[in-house]
Amino acid sequence: MARDKMLDLEDAVAKIEDGMTVMIGGFMGCGNAHVLIDALLEAGTTDLTLICNDGAVPGFGVGKLVEQHRLRKLIASHVGLNPEVGRQMNAEELEVELVPQGTFAERIRSGGTGLGGVLTPTGIGTIVAEGKQVVEVDGREFLLEKPLRADVALLSGYKVDPFGNIWYRGDTRTFQPVMAMAADVVIAEADMIVPLGSIPPEDVHTPGILVDHIVKGGDW
């Protein structure tokens, strides 16, 4: 049963259609699913809504999707290191929704756990609050930030066993465990495929029950 999760790269990318919403984990390109991103570019997939912490940097990770105009919308916390995001946003070529980083993580967590959203004071009295519902709790105002979910989440694990249990190396773990819970289909790109049982239970960062498909990645 575990081996059924292994997919050829081409078959995995075929599951991502034009116009879908895609989550990609990592931080500034570190931890992005680089092999899957390159395969998306080769396949010509476009008009995507990307949920990712940032726009990475030019020529690296999700930055390639930005540069090649494969995105319709980007939902992110930080885009300052990729000038092309700002250029496309100002030219109205790309819709960008900027979300405070903690709120970003909690909106994804809400999406993955079936909650109706998260109440946060972050953004009260700023442009972040425009058009959003304000809820008063014990005399204090909070913004209702709605959940984020995706059609597909693309994860990148350093060690992945055939069932899909994932161990992330260092900061590559960023946002990936919560994204694994907030997408209809989860595809894990593995730097290393390791035998079932070789990742100690306490070191499993994303359990295989959440992973639908596995592709072999590589060093980058």
Digit-by-digit pLDDT tens for the chain (220 residues) are 445 799 999 999 999 999 999 999 999 999 999 999 999 999 999 999 999 999 999 999 999 999 999 999 999 999 999 999 999 999 999 999 999 999 999 999 999 999 999 999 999 999 889 999 999 999 999 999 999 999 999 999 999 999 999 999 998 999 999 999 999 999 999 999 999 999 999 999 999 999 999 999 975 4
Query: Quick one: tokens of 70?
Result: 């494969």
Determine the pLDDT at residue 220: 40
- Between CA 22 and CA 3 the distance in angstroms is 25
SS3 of the chain: helix, strand, coil, percent, to 5: 30, 30, 40
DSSP code per residue over 134-182: EEEETTEEEEEEPP--EEEEEEEEEEE-TT--EE--GGGGTTHHHHTTS
Determine the pLDDT at residue 1: 43
- Between CA 131 and CA 86 the distance in angstroms is 23
Domains of the chain are 19-98+149-216 (3.40.1080.10)
Determine the pLDDT at residue 218: 75
DSSP state, residue 76: E
Determine the pLDDT at residue 211: 98
